[in-house]
Amino acid sequence: MNKYEAEFSNLVRSFRKKHMGKGPSKINTTFCKNWAICEMEGNLSPVEKFISGTDKGKQILKSARTEMVKDLYRNNPPKEMEEFLGCAFVDLFVDIDIDRDFGMSIFIFEENIEMKYCK
């Protein structure tokens, strides 16, 4: 992970902490073409870990940690990320494995950030 990818990880953590109350404990970001791919560990709060003790709780958390996170970014465009990268945010794909507390987010931008920041 280069310094731009590391700083992007910090921006993701900060955005999630601001809007969700807690950010992931570990983020590893890789720029690939116009994608910023973030692998995230330690996403769940203690209350969410408790809720994940049942199958229904896992389903609720998976929905909250995928669809609601995508809506969060749509309703609160990540301006800090756009300013840092110098290009517009386009979309976000999110998934999480509740049992492993491991998530993936793929941020899509309008420009090739790999070419711009990983030379």
* Range(s) of the domain holding residue 86: 3-117
Tokens coding 70? 């995508």
pLDDT tens track for 10-46 = 999 999 999 988 889 999 999 999 999 999 999 999 9
Number of domains in the chain: 1
**pTM for this entry:** 0.93
Task: Encode pLDDT of 38-82 as tens digits.
Answer: 999 999 999 999 999 999 999 999 999 999 999 999 999 999 999
The CA-based angle 16-30-60, given to 5 degrees, is: 40
Tokens of 90: 């386009």
CATH number of the domain encompassing residue 86: 3.30.980
